[in-house]
């Protein structure tokens, strides 16, 4: 009897010891749970609306500055135009991680951001006699308007254009293109404004709850995650790979402003913004859902995002030069962005599909 009690006591002691020594489950977190609806709503407010409103503000400033420059023809005012172009460009590139909704199906993206510029046709537009009315601008091919046509006019082929080099036709065209860009970004910002008719904001946050676009929340989340992977693919295998592998700087994005690396970095920051749920202020994002179930995936996502951004920052000369002068850094950046793309497609997407309805 004594032996039995001893064995029982010993077994209990061992069990207590094993239990007390067991490591906590690091795959989950005790963070306050976030509902999938909260995340969709917060993303729409803190990322989409914040980004598009900033973009619209900057393009409005660009148009205003162009009008001032047209009147003054001073180099200082031209410098202001160039800086505001960069500011607007930053907002736009940080929106490319969520090219969903009106920016896609209303063809706003190609009208704003088609590259490279078609120099031959652009010169014919400048050398012709057409009046740059709204109707005329609308009729132009996408490669003749938007950010990059404006960039070409502001910076010149070598990036050092001065006020004295502008012709009256260039000033008229610059004014018309800047107005068109502002019009398109106004349309884009309004499309996600919950106070406008038939807005996309309401359709998105009500996914799975009466939305006319998304029968389930899973469809909204899948589209969002696929958009994140899509911009990674475009950066790595389009924007970087095409000029790099063909050793052709003419295929570079934003070459006149020497802004390509900044563009690429802001594209990855766009992915980061979607994941964290932040632009100018923090909110709920995909990370809040991931952290509830899988801290390892959350860590991997953040590490790969940061690695991709850092690898792009390791390119220290304009991208057109880097493709021949810093090929190792360019290759490393391309690999890091592709690594992030794989993580999103192979790990984040299945996770989202598992944890949304």
Mean pLDDT of the chain: 91
Q: Is the residue at 273 inside a domain?
A: yes
Number of residues that this document lists for the chain = 357
Q: Is the residue at 54 inside a domain?
A: yes
Q: How confident is the model at residue 119 (pLDDT cuts 50, 70, 90)?
A: confident
Q: Is the residue at 15 inside a domain?
A: no
Range of weakest confidence among 3-17, 38-52, 54-68, 230-244: 3-17
Confidence check: pLDDT of 224 > 90: yes
Residue 116: its pLDDT value, please? Answer: 86
Percent of the chain with pLDDT over 70: 90
Confidence check: pLDDT of 226 > 50: yes
Confidence check: pLDDT of 318 > 60: yes
Residue 34: its pLDDT value, please? Answer: 63
pLDDT tens-place string over residues 83-111: 999 999 999 999 999 999 999 999 999 99
Say which residue, 157 or 19, is predicted with more confidence. 157
Domain that holds residue 233: 36-355
- Rounded to an integer, the average pLDDT of 168-191 is 98
- Rounded to an integer, the average pLDDT of 188-215 is 95
What CATH number is given to the structural domain containing 209? 1.20.1420.20
Q: How confident is the model at residue 222 (pLDDT cuts 50, 70, 90)?
A: very high
Query: How many domains does the chain fold into?
Result: 1
Q: Is the residue at 98 inside a domain?
A: yes
Residue 315: its pLDDT value, please? Answer: 98
Q: Is the residue at 322 inside a domain?
A: yes
Q: Is the residue at 30 inside a domain?
A: no
Q: Is the CB of residue 264 less than 8 Å from the CB of residue 312?
A: yes
Confidence check: pLDDT of 23 > 50: no
Percent of the chain with pLDDT over 90: 87
- Rounded to an integer, the average pLDDT of 305-326 is 97
- Rounded to an integer, the average pLDDT of 133-160 is 96
Confidence check: pLDDT of 218 > 50: yes
Confidence check: pLDDT of 58 > 60: yes
- Rounded to an integer, the average pLDDT of 331-338 is 98
pLDDT tens-place string over residues 238-285: 999 999 999 999 899 999 999 999 999 999 999 999 999 999 888 899
Q: Is the residue at 167 inside a domain?
A: yes
Nearest to 235 by CA among 271, 273, 264, 275: 264
Q: How confident is the model at residue 14 (pLDDT cuts 50, 70, 90)?
A: very low
Residue 256: its pLDDT value, please? Answer: 95
Q: Is the residue at 18 inside a domain?
A: no
């Amino acid at each position: 009897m004594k032996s039995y009690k001893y064995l029982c006591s010993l077994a209990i002691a061992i069990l207590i010891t094993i239990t007390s020594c067991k490591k906590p489950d690091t795959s989950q977190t005790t963070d306050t749970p976030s509902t999938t609806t909260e995340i969709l709503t917060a993303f729409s407010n803190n990322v989409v609306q914040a980004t598009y409103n900033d973009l619209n503000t900057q393009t409005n400033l660009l148009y205003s500055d162009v009008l001032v420059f047209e009147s003054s023809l001073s180099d200082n005012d031209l410098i202001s135009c160039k800086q505001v172009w960069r500011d607007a460009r930053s907002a736009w590139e940080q929106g490319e991680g969520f090219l969903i909704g009106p920016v896609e199906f209303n063809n706003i993206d190609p009208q704003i951001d088609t590259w490279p510029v078609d120099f031959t046709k652009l010169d014919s537009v400048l050398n012709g006699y057409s009046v740059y009315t709204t109707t005329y601008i609308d009729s132009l091919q996408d490669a003749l308007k938007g950010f990059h046509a404006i960039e070409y006019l502001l910076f010149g082929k070598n990036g050092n254009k001065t006020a004295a080099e502008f012709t009256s036709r260039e000033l008229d065209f610059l004014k018309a293109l800047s107005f068109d860009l502002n019009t398109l970004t106004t349309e884009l910002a309004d499309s996600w404004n919950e106070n406008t008719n038939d807005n996309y904001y309401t359709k998105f946050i009500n996914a799975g709850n009466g939305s006319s676009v998304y029968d389930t929340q899973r469809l909204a989340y899948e589209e969002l995650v696929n958009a994140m992977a899509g911009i990674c693919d475009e950066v790595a295998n389009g924007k970087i790979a095409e000029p790099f592998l063909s050793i052709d700087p003419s295929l570079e994005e934003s070459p006149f402003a020497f802004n390509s690396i900044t563009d690429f970095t802001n594209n990855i920051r766009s992915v980061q913004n979607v994941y964290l749920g932040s632009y100018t202020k923090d909110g709920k994002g995909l990370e809040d859902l991931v952290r509830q179930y899988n801290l390892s995936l959350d860590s991997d996502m953040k590490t790969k995002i940061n690695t991709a951004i850092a690898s792009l920052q390791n390119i220290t000369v304009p991208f057109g030069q880097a493709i021949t002068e810093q090929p190792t850094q360019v290759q490393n950046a391309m690999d890091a962005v592709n690594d992030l793309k794989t993580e999103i497609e192979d790990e984040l997407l299945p996770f989202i599909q598992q944890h949304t309805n």
